[in-house]
Amino acid sequence: MEIIIHRGTKEIGGSCVELIINKKRLLIDIGLPLDYDSWSDEEKVDYENKMSSIIQKADAIFLSHYHQDHTGLLNLVPDRTPIYLSDPTIRAIIIPEMFFGDVFKGFNFIPIYHRKVITEIEGVRIIPYRVDHSAFGAMAFLIEDLKLNKTILYTGDIRLHGLSKTSYLSLKQNVDYMLLEGTNIGRESNAIIKSEQQVFENFVNIFNSYPSHLNYVWASSLNIDRINLLYDACEETNKILAVDFFTMNILKSMYKHHNVPYGSSNRYIRCFYPNYLTSYIKRIQHRDYLINCVHWCKVSKTEIKENPSKYVVMIRPSMIEDLKYIDASNANYITSIWKEYEKDEKYRPFFEYIESKGYNKFYNHTSGHAFEEGLQELNRYLKPKTIIPIHTQEASKYKDIFPDSNILQLSDGEKTIL
Ligand SMILES: [Zn+2]
């Protein structure tokens, strides 16, 4: 079998791996680079042209999870090409598209399930495995070349400190090659919070320490595990979690098949309607249903304003007008996403407002990626014959972190026979 890592051997994001097995071309992840927004138009066109010709030739595409740095080139995929991805990944792609997309392109999505073997590609066997990551429904892939009897495991983004931290135990051991992500290699020093469990405990402590305060939490609408845990913290402290109707639509789309807080049995969650998003949706024709379908569990901002201590409100900086309307005199503000996002210049008015109100500020987040000790544990348990670094800025450090392992360091675009 042959491998080409088109992108990802020396950076975090933009992941795209091509495997050529039995003359079939398989692509695993088709991501955009993380700094793509800062590229010039010319650079973007060049890159899309280059990636488009690679994607057009693919016989099948496998997506590990829905983050943009793994799926951002989806629009370049021809209608007929089969795209294998998990059910939560499909929903997490479709719902934002229903809100913010122009015309939703038809895709040949094929849902995959934990350990359900994919045999449609001649000469190849692929087994998806559920893994722990900040994207709900994230998968690793085991790819077997049946003719050469070779195995390769693509971890995708993975960690060992989230809500399903033991899921790595079901991965295949002793594979010939393991494509191993290394996001946190070389950048761990500022990681203080080491597990989702600790994030949960911090939420509970903050809510209990300020019983008369309103709590605002900035978390990603697509980080379902974090929302689950925030919901649990609300239940524990007898508060109600208010999420906007975009987030509620995401939860609604998943609740029948997955354990997410939505529905009449979940008493501690309500839906509110932020000004900006509500008027945006109302301006677009035929999308009122996105507002109406979750209206049954609505809480008004006036209710939150009048009973601030009862609520934990999940927000984003774009909701600054809603915060001004609620105008809480005592509140906590908690960042529960990657801290670097706070530095974005466009969020400055939001943080100035938080500052001007004298709200208590907290940071409560843990990484979606394994720390170095997690990667070592993964390697100790799985015992791959060779590790191939990917999704890392520090490929050269793999040999220090895994001193007893074979490391095969590849370059972007280089074709290698395995
Ligand atoms: Zn990811």
CATH number at residue 119: 3.60.15.10
Q: How far apart are CA 6 and CA 16, in angstroms?
A: 5
Return the pLDDT at 104.
67
What is the distance in A from the centroid of ligand 1 to the CA of 31?
10
- Strand-pairing partners, residue 406, are 386
What is the distance in A from the centroid of ligand 1 to the CA of 144?
24
What is the distance in A from the centroid of ligand 1 to the CA of 279?
31
What is the distance in A from the centroid of ligand 1 to the CA of 317?
22
**Residue 191, token pair as written in the block:** 């990681």
Range of the domain at 215: 196-363
Category of 383 on φ-ψ map: left (φ > 0), alpha (ψ -120 to 50) or beta = left
Pair 278, 318 in one domain: yes
The domain tally of the chain equals 2
What is the distance in A from the centroid of ligand 1 to the CA of 390?
13
What is the distance in A from the centroid of ligand 1 to the CA of 338?
12
Pair 41, 184 in one domain: yes
Pair 291, 243 in one domain: yes
What is the distance in A from the centroid of ligand 1 to the CA of 23?
29
What is the distance in A from the centroid of ligand 1 to the CA of 65?
7
What is the distance in A from the centroid of ligand 1 to the CA of 135?
6
**Residue 199, token pair as written in the block:** 């994030």
Closest CA to 202 of 217, 188, 223, 187: 217
Pair 111, 160 in one domain: yes
Secondary structure (3-state) at 208: helix
Q: Which ipTM value was assigned to this complex?
A: 0.96
What is the distance in A from the centroid of ligand 1 to the CA of 323?
30
What is the distance in A from the centroid of ligand 1 to the CA of 109?
20
What is the distance in A from the centroid of ligand 1 to the CA of 157?
5
Which spans in 298-388 are helix H? 301-306, 320-326, 348-357, 372-382
Classify burial at 310, counting beta carbons within 10 Å of its beta carbon; exposed 0-12, middle 13-18, buried 19 or more: middle
- Strand-pairing partners, residue 416, are 3
Q: Please say which residue of 363, 387, 405 terminates a domain.
A: 363
Return the pLDDT at 190.
60
What is the distance in A from the centroid of ligand 1 to the CA of 69?
7
Pair 47, 80 in one domain: yes
**Residue 280, token pair as written in the block:** 């945006």
Pair 102, 248 in one domain: no
Q: Please say which residue of 363, 386, 408 terminates a domain.
A: 363
Binned average pLDDT, 10 residues per bin, the chain of 418 residues: 97 97 97 95 97 98 97 95 97 92 82 97 97 96 97 98 95 98 83 90 98 98 95 97 96 85 86 95 86 91 98 97 98 95 93 98 96 96 98 97 97 97
What is the distance in A from the centroid of ligand 1 to the CA of 136?
10
Pair 375, 296 in one domain: no
What is the distance in A from the centroid of ligand 1 to the CA of 147?
32
Mind giving me the DSSP string for 136-165?
TT-EEEEEEETTTTEEEEE--S--SSSTTT
What is the distance in A from the centroid of ligand 1 to the CA of 86?
14
Pair 27, 149 in one domain: yes
Q: How far apart are CA 301 and CA 319, in angstroms?
A: 12
What is the distance in A from the centroid of ligand 1 to the CA of 331?
31
Return the pLDDT at 106.
82
What is the distance in A from the centroid of ligand 1 to the CA of 388?
18
Residues 6+ apart with CB under 8 A from 307: none
Return the pLDDT at 191.
63
What is the chain's alpha carbon radius of gyration, rounded to the nearest angstrom?
A: 22
What is the distance in A from the centroid of ligand 1 to the CA of 162?
13
What is the distance in A from the centroid of ligand 1 to the CA of 308?
34
Pair 27, 172 in one domain: yes
Mind giving me the DSSP string for 390-401?
ES-S-GGGHHHH
Pair 27, 98 in one domain: yes
What is the distance in A from the centroid of ligand 1 to the CA of 67?
5
Return the pLDDT at 286.
79
In which residue are the tokens 């609740």 written?
Answer: 255
Pair 147, 72 in one domain: yes
What is the distance in A from the centroid of ligand 1 to the CA of 71?
10
CATH number at residue 329: 3.40.50.10710
What is the distance in A from the centroid of ligand 1 to the CA of 139?
10
Q: Please say which residue of 326, 343, 363 terminates a domain.
A: 363
What is the distance in A from the centroid of ligand 1 to the CA of 158?
8
What is the distance in A from the centroid of ligand 1 to the CA of 223?
10
**Number of CB atoms found within 10 A of residue 396's CB:** 14
Return the pLDDT at 260.
87
Pair 352, 225 in one domain: yes
- At 345, the amino acid letter reads E
